[in-house]
């Protein structure tokens, strides 16, 4: 991980499918929550059957509630088709409400921002406004590699962590949290 001299408060987590981006976010949320931080935002949790991803559930980190967001099974959800998935309109609306009420908070996590939000202008678009706000101590946005540069250029002051493997994600989250705590303690001392 590259550590800037002054630790950024806006971070992009990127990496290919299956490398542990959500694992990183979940571990970071646990570390922050254990430290007494108010953790808010959404995690995208995969539903796998026989090693194949068949669904995506979104989890409200503050309330602990979840909704089925998307399914690879054509008749499982009512909604619209996008990139081979059926997306639930109701879950998207719910996710937008969750994010509109996520700030202020200490840690804002958005897993993940993709082609629906960035190319189509739909999906869970409330994340874009909430991430641009300054109503958090630390914000993490998960973005696929193909969108990382574009998103970083639009999210001023952000830095990027690229996760290369599932084995790296858990340890990287712990190291990141320790470095963030150390950096912010040093910068806030009189």
**Domains of the chain, each with CATH number or no CATH:** 10-185 (3.40.50.300)
Strands 39-49 and 52-60: antiparallel
CB 107 within 8 A of CB 173: no
What's the pLDDT score for residue 183? 78
What's the pLDDT score for residue 187? 43
Distance from CA of residue 63 to its chain's centroid? Answer: 16
What's the pLDDT score for residue 7? 63
What's the pLDDT score for residue 138? 94
Question: 110: which 2 tokens?
Answer: 């958005």
List the chain pLDDT tens, one digit each, 190 residues.
444 444 689 999 999 999 999 999 999 999 999 999 999 999 999 999 998 999 999 999 999 999 999 999 978 999 999 999 999 999 999 999 999 999 999 999 999 999 999 999 999 999 999 999 989 999 999 999 999 999 999 999 999 999 999 889 989 999 999 888 887 764 443 3
Question: 167: which 2 tokens?
Answer: 């084995």
CB 33 within 8 A of CB 181: no
């Amino acid at each position: 991980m590259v550590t800037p001299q002054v630790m950024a408060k806006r971070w992009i987590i990127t990496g290919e499918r299956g490398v542990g981006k959500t694992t990183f976010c979940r571990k970071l949320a646990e570390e922050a929550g254990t430290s007494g931080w108010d953790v808010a935002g959404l995690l995208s949790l995969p539903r796998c059957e026989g090693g194949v991803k068949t669904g995506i559930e979104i989890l409200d980190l503050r309330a602990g509630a979840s909704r089925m967001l998307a399914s690879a099974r054509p008749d499982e959800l009512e909604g619209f088709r996008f990139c081979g998935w059926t997306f639930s309109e109701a879950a998207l609306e719910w996710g937008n409400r969750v994010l509109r009420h996520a700030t202020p908070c200490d840690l804002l996590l958005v897993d993940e921002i993709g082609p629906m939000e960035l190319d189509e202008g739909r999906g869970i678009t409330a994340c874009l406004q909430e991430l641009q706000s300054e109503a958090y101590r630390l914000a993490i946005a998960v973005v696929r590699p193909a969108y990382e540069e574009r998103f970083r250029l639009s999210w001023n002051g952000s830095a990027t962590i690229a996760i290369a493997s599932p084995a790296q994600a858990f340890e990287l989250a712990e190291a990141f949290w320790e470095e963030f705590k150390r950096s912010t303690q040093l910068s806030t001392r009189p």
